A and B are shown apart, each in its own frame.
Chain A
Amino acid sequence: MIRVLLPAHLKNLAHVDGEVTVAVSEPVSANGVIDAIEASYPMLRGTIRDPVTGRRRPFVRFFIDEEDHSHDNPDQLLPDAVREGRVPFIVVGAMAGG
């Protein structure tokens, strides 16, 4: 199972607390994780990736073990630490005011 940490707005929208876990078939990629999140929590469809273009939203970033993976190919294999459940895949909303 893949551990995922969502930002507060999306946790509220999905009615979840803390981390969520989702099953993602190999090879585990960022797109695969988001696909699984959207399947488990349909109310999050389009909130992390634009529903029309499929691209990560500009104010959303992906972190793993304190490293920014936002600009990686979203279909590439994620690090073992995520795939083995040792660290979460973190979805972060940009720290912008408003």
Chain B
Amino acid sequence: MSGVRVLVGTRKGAFILTADAKRQKWDVNGPLFGGWEMYHLKGSPVDPNRIYASQSTSWFGQLIQRSDDGGASWQPVGNEFRYDGVPGTHQWYDGTPHPWEFARVWHLEPSLSDPDTVLAGVEDAALFRSSDAGATWQELSGLRQHDTGSSWQPGAGGMCLHTIIESPSNPARLVVAISAAGVFRSDDHGVTWKPITKGLLSEGIPDEDAEVGHCVHHVAAHPSRPDVMFMQKHWDVMRSNDAGESWFEISGNLPSDFGFVIDVHAHEPETLYVVPITSDSEHFPPEGKLRVYRSRVGGYEWEPLTKGLPQENCYVNVLRDAMAVDTLEDCGIYFGTTGGQVYVSANGGDSWDAIVRDLPAVLSVEVQTLA
């Protein structure tokens, strides 16, 4: 019988939430790795039993955990993330040069074709690849060594590489996003990179349309149309129809175009979801109402989805990796909040239920659709 497995990373451990295809009755397993920050967990699209997890604390550093049995058991694998060559410097918040220093893994992206290959987006921003199921890691250093690298600057959360998109139709193509450097594309398996930021405008930087320096919060694309990308920037919701060669704004009638998450319906490539947040300092929903906004026309026109979500006194945030969709016939939408709630909609966003309400602050949500 088909079902779903939701992988939740929180500030104090990981949780695995499972249900059948109705997505009404849930089993909650956790906390796994209690007390550790679990920035991200993600399963291999090739082998759903293979799951990678990023585990860290400021005290004891970074570990990578791997499960080969769907999360029932875990083993630590390699945790040596060594920058290629002499790392050099990037810009610090005050504009002075700052040495590149590894802090943590923000995002793990298992390969679309090989369960032993996985990419890791790290802070300070760099991209690493493992081809031996996480045992060893090699930097794809062409990204960090791009001509603009020394001018990259951290966002408030650190200089993190948080989004990795592999193209199902073009295996040589990778897109990554870095806060607050921008979005970059490689068309040669990650060897060389170029910024793809034309059309982005950011009022908070000295040159509003600079090649780099944009605080991109998240980028999403539908697997059937990987060259059509949607971006939640610090401010502005953006769209590109040409693999990032150019971007245009689709914020339309959103109550705020600040936010972190953005995702695409599994079966409707023009149906998008965002969670508007009040502002860059007020990281909570406008008017204390937790609303997911859906566009069925690829942007511009958005409708609030509120049924089942708190519509008063709600001041949580939804972080950049904390929304996911399943691929069941009635597409399920999931998101987690900094207040510890994980919500599911089993009907494309029309109504919502809380799977759990009192987890630690949710950092990431991924979902696996199981046969």
Contact = CB atoms under 8 A, between A and B. Distances in A.
Do A and B associate with each other?
Answer: yes
Contact of B81 (A9, A12, A52, A98): A52
Given A9-B35, A9-B36, A52-B102, A46 B79 contact: yes
B80 A51 contact: yes
Nearest to A42: B76
Given A9-B36, A52-B81, A60 B76 contact: no
B76 A13 contact: yes
Interface stretch (B44-52, B58-66, B218-226): B58-66
A39 B76 CA distance: 14
A46 B35 contact: no
Chain B interface mostly helix, strand, loop or mixed?
loop
Contacts of A7: 59
Contacts of A59: 58-60
Interface string B327-339: 0000000000000
B82 interface: yes
A46 B36 contact: no
Contact of B61 (A12, A42, A43, A47): A47
Interface string A86-98: 0000000110101
Contact of A94 (B59, B80, B102): B59
Interface string B149-164: 0000000000000000
B67 interface: no
Contacts of B102: 52
A10 interface: yes
Contacts of A9: 35-36, 57, 59-60
Contacts of B80: 46, 51-52
Interface residues of A, number: 21
Contacts of B36: 9
Interface string A39-72: 0001101111011100001011000000000000
A68 to B, nearest CB: 17
Interface in A68-92: none
Give chain A's interface secondary structure class.
loop
A80 to B, nearest CB: 29
B57 to A, nearest CB: 7
A2 to B, nearest CB: 20
Nearest to B77: A43
A46 B63 contact: yes
A93 B59 contact: yes
Contacts of B79: 45-46, 51
A40 B263 CA distance: 44
Nearest to A48: B60
B61 to A, nearest CB: 6
A52 B82 CA distance: 6
B112 to A, nearest CB: 29
B44 to A, nearest CB: 22
B63 A47 contact: yes
B62 to A, nearest CB: 7
Contacts of B60: 9-10, 47-48, 57, 59-60, 93
A46 B75 CA distance: 15
B76 A57 contact: no
Interface in B1-59: 34-36, 57-59
Contacts of A45: 79
B82 A98 contact: no
11 contacts: A9-B36, A43-B63, A46-B61, A46-B79, A47-B60, A52-B80, A52-B81, A57-B59, A57-B61, A59-B58, A93-B60
Given A9-B57, A52-B81, 15 more contacts: A12-B34, A12-B35, A42-B76, A43-B63, A47-B61, A47-B63, A50-B61, A51-B61, A51-B79, A52-B82, A52-B102, A59-B58, A60-B60, A94-B59, A96-B58
Interface of A: 7, 9-10, 12-13, 42-43, 45-48, 50-52, 57, 59-60, 93-94, 96, 98
